[in-house]
Structure 1
Amino acid sequence: MYKILAKLNKLILPSFSKQRLDLAKAKKWQMAIIGWRYFVTTKALGN
């Protein structure tokens, strides 16, 4: 299930690392997306 979510995240959600976003200057919604992507990626790799 998490592998499917990870693929959807890659397709739908923006990649802030490609945009060179500074985490110290990130807005709350950007931090929420980063946290969600991190959570899904770690779960997908763990299974």
Structure 2
Amino acid sequence: MYSLLAQLNKMLLPSFSKQQLDLTKAKKWQMAIIGWRYFVTTRALDKNN
């Protein structure tokens, strides 16, 4: 389930690392997206082990 969510995140959500976003200047909605992507990615990687 998390691997599917990770693929959807990759397609639908913006990649702030490619935009070279400074985390200290990120808005709350950007931090929420970063947190969500981190949560899903770590869960997807845990399931593959």
Equivalent in the alignment of 1:20: 20
Task: Give % identity.
Answer: 79
Question: How does the TM-score come out when normalised to structure 2?
Answer: 0.96
In structure 2, stretches of 5+ residues that fail to align are none
RMSD (Å) for aligned C-alpha atoms = 0.1
How many residue pairs end up in the alignment?
47
Question: How does the TM-score come out when normalised to structure 1?
Answer: 1.00
In structure 1, stretches of 5+ residues that fail to align are none
